[in-house]
Chains A and B, each alone.
Chain A
Amino acid sequence: DIQMTQSPSTLSASVGDRVTITCRASQSISSWLAWYQQKPGKAPKFLIYETSNLETGVPSRFSGSGSETEFTLTISSLQPDDFATYYCQQYRTYPWTFGQGTKVEIK
């Protein structure tokens, strides 16, 4: 299986901060990476596919970059609605696997 490792596990930030989350794959996944946002008690929400393509309706303050084994999710100016846990997911090879999550909490 391809292991996905996110860092940090928890991130404390303030409204307006620029936030970056890193996701590393144990082997190359080309650009086959997605990002999700999950709030407590809710299902994950799909944000980004193929590393950098925003799903329709996702605010432009979200962006993704990277390739092969290292990827980032950036929130350019953190908003109150963005405090949540974020997961990356690779879809290069079965089984599809997720990172362990990064919790973005209020500083």
Chain B
Amino acid sequence: QVQLQESGPGLVKPSETLSLTCTVSGGSISSHSWNWIRQPPGQGLEWIGHIYNSGSTNYNPSLRSRVTTSVDTSKNQFSLNLSSVTAADTAVYYCARGEKSGHNIFDYWGQGTLVTVSS
């Protein structure tokens, strides 16, 4: 059974960089896409972007200028950096596995981690 677990600071100061890591167990990171999705409190879901083990990425244009992702296949981990954060970036951040038989859906999710942007 594939499992994902987010880790990282729960509090980030405005203008700083939010950094999260997702550790994948029960499966290899060498296939599928590996995604970040966020959900502001009481609101809907927003896809941030994804990365493949090759390093190929796609990002949501609304966040592209501030997002970078990376993958560490030796640790079965992938990471998110979101720079210049503001209060609007306060959300639960989920990592999720993408792609099922060519369909760009999210079939396995981490439990989510709340990141609050505040001084």
Query: Measuring CB to CB, which residues of chain A are less than 8 angstroms from any residue of chain B?
Result: 1, 32, 34, 36, 42-46, 49-50, 55, 87, 89, 91, 94-101
Contact = CB atoms under 8 A, between A and B. Distances in A.
Interface of B: 44-47, 58-62, 94, 96, 100, 103-112
A87 B94 CA distance: 15
Contact of B109 (A32, A44, A55, A89): A44
Nearest to B60: A95
Contacts of B62: 1, 95
Nearest to A91: B104
A100 B44 contact: yes
B44 A96 contact: no
Contacts of A43: 94, 96, 109-112
B44 A99 contact: yes
A77 to B, nearest CB: 25
A49 B47 contact: no
Nearest to A35: B105
16 contacts: A34-B103, A34-B105, A34-B106, A36-B45, A43-B94, A43-B110, A44-B94, A46-B107, A49-B100, A89-B105, A91-B103, A91-B104, A91-B105, A95-B60, A95-B62, A98-B45
